Amino acid sequence: MNDLLAWLTSLPDPLLYGAILVAAFAENVFPPLPADTVIALGAFVAARGNGTEFGVWSATMVGNIGGAMLMYGLGHRYGLPWLMKRFPSIVSPTAADRFAERFKTQGMAAVVVSRFLPAVRALVPPMAGALGIGAIRAAVSMTLASGVWYGLVCILAFRAGANAEILLARIAEQQRTIGLAAVAVVVVAIAVVWWRRRG
Mean pLDDT of successive 10-residue segments in the chain (199 residues)? 72 88 88 76 82 90 94 91 78 76 78 74 86 89 89 83 57 57 64 70
Shared-domain flag, residues 67 and 140: yes
**Distance between CA 17 and CA 84 in Å, rounded?**
34
Same domain? 119 vs 189: no
In 3-state terms the chain splits into helix, strand, coil percentages (rounded to 5) of 85, 0, 15
Distance between CA 103 and CA 97 in Å, rounded? 10
Please give the pLDDT value at position 87: 76
Q: Which residues, 6+ apart, have CB-to-CB distance to 35 below 8 Å?
A: 23, 24, 26, 27, 64
**Torsional class of 132: left (φ above 0), alpha (ψ -120 to 50), beta (otherwise):** left
Same domain, 9 and 49: yes
- Do 169 and 187 belong together in one domain? yes
Clarify whether residues 139 and 98 are in a common domain: yes
Same domain, 153 and 168: no
Mark whether 147 and 172 lie in a shared domain.
no
Q: Please state the domain count of the chain.
A: 2
Predicted confidence (pLDDT) per residue in 79-105, tens digit: 888 888 877 767 777 777 877 787 777
Together in a domain, 157 and 168: no
DSSP-derived 3-state class of residue 40: helix
What predicted TM-score, i.e. pTM, was given to this entire model? 0.73
pLDDT in tens, 116-133: 776 677 888 888 898 888
